[in-house]
Structure 1
Amino acid sequence: MALYSIGDVAERCGINPVTLRAWQRRYGLIKPQRTEGGHRQFDDEDILRIEEIKRWVESGVPVGKVKALLEGGNVNIHDGWTALQEEMMAVLRLVRPSKLRTKIATIGREHPADALIDHVFVPIRQRLGLDQNTARVMCSLLDGAIIDYVAFCLAGSRKKPGKDALILGWETEDRTRLWMEAWRLSQQGWRMDVLAEPLAMPRPELFPGQQLFVFTGKPLSRRQQELITHWQDQGFLITHQHS
């Protein structure tokens, strides 16, 4: 029977090891074996279970309800992402940075980065962006806390084996989203750095031999697509990062 380390499983399933540990310790969703040295080992059955957990979580089921579903229980499934958005909004209304950082760190351990970005952070920022007054202040507070957490995650990912890459914004003013896309890429095995100031025009010749991701926040214009194709034809390693 094949056994896999937590790092192997994380790469294979696209789940951060921190999230896997949270699923085990806090929710009892997985029960890996242990080596004599105390290291977790997973078999193929564990991997199938992790994939099933991931599908439930990404569909919007709260992590705390997944165990009952796995055991065949009759669970009232509501939109867990909406509930999590409301939890985040409640913390935001306190206007307490320390509580907000704690909440983001907690949900960051429990949910995949892709799901949090697409179903929690982006919708909340869109919602707050509709209001010109107090909500804008809360959105700015949220952005600072998100960037703080993502920077912490990126620093950790750069300590692990992987491929180095740089992400930059192109004709976009959404700096926070740029950091979130860097976080998304880091979960795919990239050791990311962020060019924090978006550019009017990328200059790939300044980064010879480096893997570049460009984020525009919207579909590429015809001109942008032509330029990326031109740079790729010249041998530059440049890719558009889709949201």
Structure 2
Amino acid sequence: MTLYSIGDVAERCGINPVTLRAWQRRYGLLKPQRTEGGHRQFDDEDIQRIEEIKRWIESGVSVGKVKALLEGGNVSQDDGLVALQEDILSVVRLARPAKLRAKIASCGKEVPVDTLIDHVLIPIRQRLGLDQNTARTLCSFLDGALIDYIAFCLTGARKKAGKDALLMGWGITDRTRLWLEAWRLSQQGWRIDLLAEPLESLRPELFPGQHIFVYSGKTLTMRQQEQLTHWQEQGLSITSHGI
């Protein structure tokens, strides 16, 4: 029987080792074997279980409800992520920075980043981004905590083996969304740096030899696509990220 270390499983399944530990310790979803030295070892059945956990979470089930499903119970898929949205919103409304930072860090360890961004954080920001002054203030409060945590994650990712890249926002106004996309790319093996502000006019030639992602938040306009093609024809390593 082949056994795998937690690092091997993390790379194979695309899951952060911290997340795997949380799934085991906090939720009892995994029961890896241990070496004499106390190191976790996983077999092929464990890997299949991890992939099943991922599928449930990515379909909208909160990590706290996955165990019941694995054991044959019934849980509404939509309820899980909606409940997580409400949980985070309740912490935002407390207006306690330390509590919000802790909540975001906990979610970042327990929920796949793509799921957290697309099905939890973006909907929350949309709900808070209304014209009412209080909602806009709370959205700014949340954004500050998100950027703080993502900066921590990006710094950690740069210490690992990976591919270096620079992320630029192109014609967008949402600076926090740019940080969220940098976080997403870091989960795909990229060691990401990003320009602090989105720009209307890019100068990728100022960064020769670097791979560059551009993010516009929507389908590129014909003019943007023509400009991107022109840069690529000049030999720049530049691609569109996202939509």
TM-score tier (shorter): over 0.9
Q: TM-score if structure 1 supplies the norm length?
A: 0.95
Q: 1:202 to 1:69 in 2, by over 3 A?
A: same
Which residue is equivalent to 1:29? Answer: 29
Q: Is the 8 A contact 1:11 1:188 kept in 2?
A: no
Q: Is the 8 A contact 1:215 1:241 kept in 2?
A: yes
Equivalent position SS for 2:164: strand
**Alpha-carbon distance in 1 for matches of 2:153, 2:180:** 11
Which residue is equivalent to 2:132? Answer: 132
Q: How does 1:89-100 map to 2 (within 5 A)?
A: 89-100=89-100
- 2:54 corresponds to which letter in structure 1? K
Which residue is equivalent to 2:15? Answer: 15
Q: 1:77 to 1:163 in 2, by over 3 A?
A: closer
Is 2:182 the counterpart of 1:182?
A: yes
Q: Is the 8 A contact 1:11 1:189 kept in 2?
A: no
**Alpha-carbon distance in 1 for matches of 2:98, 2:22:** 21
Equivalent position SS for 1:21: helix
Cα drift, residue 75 of structure 1:
4.1
Q: 1:169 to 1:76 in 2, by over 3 A?
A: closer
Instruction: Summarize deviations over 1:57-109 as a string: whole Å, max 9, x none.
Output: 11111211111211223445552111111111111111111111111111111
Q: Is the 8 A contact 1:168 1:194 kept in 2?
A: yes
**Alpha-carbon distance in 1 for matches of 2:141, 2:74:** 39
What residue ranges of structure 1 are gaps of 5+ in the alignment?
Answer: none
Is 2:144 the counterpart of 1:144?
A: yes
- 1:200 corresponds to which letter in structure 2? E
- 1:79 corresponds to which letter in structure 2? D
Which residue is equivalent to 1:46? Answer: 46
Which residue is equivalent to 2:65? Answer: 65
Q: Is the 8 A contact 2:61 2:76 kept in 1?
A: no
**Alpha-carbon distance in 2 for matches of 1:112, 1:183:** 11
- 2:167 corresponds to which letter in structure 1? I
**Alpha-carbon distance in 2 for matches of 1:190, 1:82:** 30
Q: 1:77 to 1:181 in 2, by over 3 A?
A: closer
Q: 1:163 to 1:223 in 2, by over 3 A?
A: same
RMSD of aligned Cα (Å): 1.4
**Alpha-carbon distance in 2 for matches of 1:114, 1:20:** 16
**Alpha-carbon distance in 1 for matches of 2:224, 2:30:** 45
Q: 1:124 to 1:77 in 2, by over 3 A?
A: closer
Q: Is the 8 A contact 1:165 1:191 kept in 2?
A: yes
Identity %: 75
Cα drift, residue 19 of structure 1:
1.0
- 1:14 corresponds to which letter in structure 2? G
Which residue is equivalent to 1:81? Answer: 81
State which drifts further: 60-69 or 28-37.
28-37
Equivalent position SS for 2:38: coil
Q: How many residues align?
A: 243
User: Which portions of structure 1, spanning 4 or more consecutive aligned residues, are displaced by more than 3 angstroms?
Assistant: 74-78
Q: TM-score if structure 2 supplies the norm length?
A: 0.95
